[in-house]
A and B are shown apart, each in its own frame.
Chain A
Amino acid sequence: MTDTLSFNQEISNLLYAAEGEPLQTCIQCGTCSGTCPVAPFMDYSPRQIIALINAGNKEAVLESNTFWYCASCYHCTVRCPQEINITELMYALKRYSIWKSQHQEGLIGPTFSEAFVKMIVRGGRSFEPILAPSYIFSFNLRELLTEVTGATELLLKGRLPILPARIKRLENFKRMIGRIIPMGGLE
């Protein structure tokens, strides 16, 4: 049965059950896209993404930057007249994209997310200096430099830690995560 799932169903299954209304109830009114502060930067507006999902156009959805540009501000979600949780949909698309290892080339989001989660899995807390170089190195020099300028100043103001933060019961913590996902996947 699993191989007969449509793209729409696959995505719906990735939504938490309480997130309510399935995507096919979308009336394409555009409230989400009119509200979204990032919409002008997206390849497709959130409304168009829902239309593409409902049309089964998986390639166009996965190759778009839309869900990686979602700022998780939930403004669309509180306004949607059909009570679709669009923000959770964007999360689901990110998970789907990472799961299928398919995303638009040149996006920072996917690599950054993995780096960030790996860091937390290793230490239990987030630590900005480790983080910044580990993802920025693979991108362009200009962004690295601007980031470093800011970082140096933060460091001088005492707002960046020198050593990575770790929680005390780290071994338990790692085993706990092991019960959810295979550690090999993220370590």
Chain B
Amino acid sequence: MSDKPETKQFEPTIIGFTCNWCSYRAADMAGTARMKYAPNVRLIRLMCSGRLDPMFVFKAFAGGADAVLISGCHPGDCHYINQNYKAMRRFQLMKRVLAQLGIEPARLKLLWASAAEGAIFASEITKFVEEVRALGPLNFNATGFENQPKVEHKEVPA
């Protein structure tokens, strides 16, 4: 890409979803405390991780994201009682679907971060970026599956 300097390493693009109460505030806290992390994640604020429609995740992959981060309050700390458990279940299902689509499930990460855990939020993002960098660019494009290598259809245990 022309407006970017020549980089030796692959810089993944990651879409991140946060809830309004814990994980977005963890990001705020990482900011106020000037903690440094990799610039590859672009965050979208939802009210709750329970709002996360799986469609959003697939849309992000289809649109060119190399990975997706989902973050919310710790189990038991949800601002809306227990909606983050729903996010957790959807996360498991989405990983299976991704596997069937031939996308490495490791490209989807779930991260619990309380409003006080800016440091964890920052370090986990940097870690995730490294992991995605190791996986390489997502070989998948929005126009369809024609260019995809044949995916072996494996039964995913329930």
Indicate yes or no for A touching B, C-beta below 8 A.
no
Residues of B within 8 A of A (CB): none
Binding site for B on A (CB under 8 A): none
